[in-house]
Amino acid sequence: MPTLDRDGVAIHYEDHGPKDADTLPVLLTHGYAATCLMWRPQIAAFSDRYRLISWDMRGHGQSDSPPDDARYSRELTVEDMRAILDELGIERAVIAGHSLGGYMSLAFQATHPERTAALILQGTGPGYRNPVAREAWNEDRLERARRLETIGMSTHDGGSEVDMSEHSSAEGLARSARGMLTQHDSLVIDGIASITLPTLLLVGENDTPFRNSMSYMENRIEGSELHVFDGAGHGVNIEAPEGVNAAIEGFLTRLAGGAA
């Protein structure tokens, strides 16, 4: 599978499906401690007729884990996403992401609105406006990084999307937690109410930490649609693939119809 050189950091990506499809390409970004493997149920369902690009973020999967903490950040992740689209000659895409990948998708939209045709957000949130709440979030992420460095991969817990993932080192995940999971401003949440793009929101019924965040975005993104899937947890696209795929299929079909 191809890799993209980002100033000496190799970024792994996969490009599935027809390259001349009538509908817009979809860029799929995984969550923290997951990899592009989490999107297998969607690639299997849609790659015969949609172009799906999945990838591994820095410190994850088959992408490099640079030893410098400064090589991990929201800004670098957003530019990795842009660079993948540039490499493939894609001007605009549906930007889709799960958990941390959903937050990065919102950051991508805020930074590159001209490259974003629509949003698919799964089990994610827009971050924090309140500095006290943001600091509490950050301290928890930093503690996660410390545990990974002290105990290793055995300390990491996650959902079904993490269970199916493979990583080269705990150090890469620790640096990702410090540089990519932590938040330092309210850029993303401040821009939520101004989003006018078609937006599909997906969440599992049992994904308690993110149910409220998804409802918050539904109430503030005009015209967005929220789907809650019974019995599913955080990795809802893996745990309820038929329902999630049906929601995505309907959304992409409507996008194609609107572009006609």
154 pLDDT higher than 60: no
147 versus 95: the higher-pLDDT residue is 95
Answer whether 237's CB lies under 8 Å from 122's CB: yes
What burial class does residue 259 get, using C-beta atoms within 10 Å of its C-beta: 0-12 exposed, 13-18 middle, 19+ buried? exposed
Return the pLDDT at 65.
93
| Cα–Cα distance for residue pair 220/118, rounded to 1 Å | 16
User: How buried is 231 (Cβ within 10 angstroms: 0-12 exposed, 13-18 middle, 19+ buried)?
Assistant: exposed
* Model confidence pLDDT, tens digit, residues 122-138: 999 999 999 999 999 99
**Residue 94: pLDDT band with limits 50, 70, 90:** very high
pLDDT of residue 21: 64
**Which DSSP helix (H) or strand (E) runs through 98?**
strand 93-98
The per-residue pLDDT of the chain, averaged, comes to 92
Give me the mean pLDDT over the 24-49 stretch.
95
User: What's the pLDDT at 151?
Assistant: 74
pLDDT at residue 192 is higher than 90:
yes
pLDDT at 259 (0 to 100): 56
Residue 111 pLDDT > 50: yes
If pLDDT is split at 50, 70 and 90, which confidence band does 260 have? Answer: very low
Q: What does the pLDDT average to over 23-30?
A: 93
What's the confidence (pLDDT) of residue 166?
72
Q: How far apart are CA 51 and CA 233, in angstroms?
A: 27
How sure is the predictor about 257, in pLDDT bands with cuts at 50, 70 and 90?
confident
- Tell me the per-residue pLDDT of 193-227, one tens digit each, with 9 for 90 and over: 999 999 999 999 999 989 999 999 999 999 999 99
Sign of CA pseudo-dihedral 36, 87, 96, 189: positive
